[in-house]
């Protein structure tokens, strides 16, 4: 078996996992993240249009756990793919919008999927709202159970980093690690 290639060296990676009443902080010092040879591709374009036109098989985006899709790509998805918003709201009513969970809807029948990754508790620009531990749990569940092997996946460029305050290099490293069997394209408007 071939040893995985390092994605990038990290001085310190800190993941905060907050599932009340338990809160865990994981710190990795002077280590490497390992993964396959997959690299996130960047492309000019619209991630929502990419899933609607079947350019990709699935669209992933980060949502808050407050039942609000009021800005960014979430607002666009709410408007253009109302079934994804309904799935998010229904999931919240049935199970509660908990960090680390995923809701999803089919697009245009069975042709594609939109995955709502519940990886930020609140919303706003006052601090980092992206929870890396919750994102890791969502991506793990996607890779293990939800995404078809070798599918092409769209994400918005700076997913979880623009409004939610995350670090794009960390998010890319997580995408490359958890979705190494998939083609991931970050769409930049």
Model confidence pLDDT, tens digit, residues 60-89? 999 999 999 999 999 999 999 999 999 999
Domain that holds residue 81: 36-188
What pLDDT does residue 136 have?
97
Residue 162 lies in a domain: yes
Assign 3 a pLDDT band (cuts: 50, 70, 90): very low
CA distance 133 to 19: 9
Please give the DSSP secondary-structure letter assigned to residue 160. Answer: T
Assign 35 a pLDDT band (cuts: 50, 70, 90): very low
Mean pLDDT score of the chain: 84
Assign 17 a pLDDT band (cuts: 50, 70, 90): low
CA distance 51 to 59: 6
Assign 105 a pLDDT band (cuts: 50, 70, 90): very high
Q: Which residues have C-beta within 8 Å of that of residue 88, sequence separation ≥ 6?
A: 63, 67, 69, 97, 103, 116
Residue 16 lies in a domain: no
Residue 6 lies in a domain: no
Angle of helix 132-141 relative to helix 168-178, nearest 10 degrees, comes to: 20
How do the residues of the chain divide into helix, strand and coil, expressed in percent and rounded to 5? Answer: 30, 35, 35
Pick from 164, 139, 167: nearest CA to 153 = 139
Q: What CATH number is associated with residue 134?
A: 3.40.220.10
Q: What is the mean pLDDT of residues 17-45?
A: 60
What pLDDT does residue 156 have?
98
Question: Into how many domains does the chain fold?
Answer: 1
């Amino acid at each position: 078996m071939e040893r995985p290639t390092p994605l990038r060296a990290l001085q310190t990676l800190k993941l905060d996992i907050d599932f009340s009443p338990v809160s865990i902080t994981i710190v990795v010092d002077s280590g490497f993240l390992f993964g396959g040879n997959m690299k996130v591709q960047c492309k000019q374009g619209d991630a929502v249009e990419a899933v609607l036109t079947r350019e990709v098989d699935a669209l992933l985006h980060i949502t808050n756990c407050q039942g609000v899709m009021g800005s960014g790509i979430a607002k666009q998805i709410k408007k253009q793919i109302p079934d994804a918003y309904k799935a998010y709201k229904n999931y919240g009513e049935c199970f509660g919008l908990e960090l680390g969970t995923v809701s999803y809807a089919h697009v245009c029948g069975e042709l594609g999927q939109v995955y709502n990754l519940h990886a930020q508790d609140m919303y706003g620009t006052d601090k980092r709202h992206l929870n890396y531990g919750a994102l890791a749990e969502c991506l793990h569940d996607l890779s293990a159970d939800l995404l078809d092997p070798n599918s092409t996946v769209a994400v918005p460029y700076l997913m979880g980093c623009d409004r939610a305050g995350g670090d794009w290099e960390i998010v890319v490293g997580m995408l490359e690690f958890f979705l190494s069997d998939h083609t991931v394209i970050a769409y930049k408007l």
